[in-house]
Amino acid sequence: MYLTLHLILAHFLADYPLQSGKMVKYKYKSLIGLFLHTIMHVVVISLICLPFLYSAKVLWSLIVIFISHLLIDRAKIACEKFCPKINKFIFYALDQLLHILILLYVSLYFIGKAEPGMTGDWYAYYSDSTLIGFILIFILCTYFYDVTKWTFLNSIKPIPYKRDYKLMARNALVVVIAFLLYWLTR
């Protein structure tokens, strides 16, 4: 199985629900904050890809992802500081695009098809693409949507970030109902 969805899910988990506002400020202020943010990505990927960590290719991919994530985020922060007149949404979109492209490359060309090194009933959760897809779509429709919408609006007219829990709850409900219908009818 390819670990594409696993890696993308880990990225969006670490960049959105697990990244606090304090962490965002810390990574902009300090290289240590950026390093901690990137370590969190590797930890989340390790947990989501746990049955596959026996593979040297998967372990090397963690290093590739760590270094590329650190460099991409560092470049984004530097570009925002040195080019303040350029719309920050452009940097945000490029940042996310580059992260996803790296993850696709690592998954499809570096790791390739991976077989789990562990067995057991719990492994079914790691190999269920519907469950992984559900969690990914849930995050995309809630946290990712909320942050992306704010980033876009903030690039037009600066406004403080305030999470829109009402909209997130509505989007979450739609995703849950859609997946429940899918699971009940398959």
Tokens representing 119 are: 């067995």
How far is Cα 112 from Cα 184, in angstroms, rounded to an integer? 32
Per-residue pLDDT of the chain (186 residues; tens, 9 = 90+): 789 999 999 999 999 999 988 999 999 999 999 999 999 999 999 999 988 888 889 899 999 999 999 999 999 999 999 998 889 999 999 999 999 999 999 999 888 787 777 667 777 778 888 899 999 999 999 999 999 999 999 999 999 999 999 999 999 999 999 999 988 988
Cα separations (Å) of 131 from 127, 162, 179, 180?
9, 29, 9, 11
CB distance 120 to 51 below 8 Å = no
pLDDT score of 91: 96
Q: Which residues contact 39 (CB under 8 A, 6 or more apart)?
A: 66
pLDDT score of 53: 86
Structure pTM?
A: 0.91
3-class secondary structure per residue, 17-51: CCCCHHHHHHHHHCHHHHHHHHHHHHHHHHHHCHH
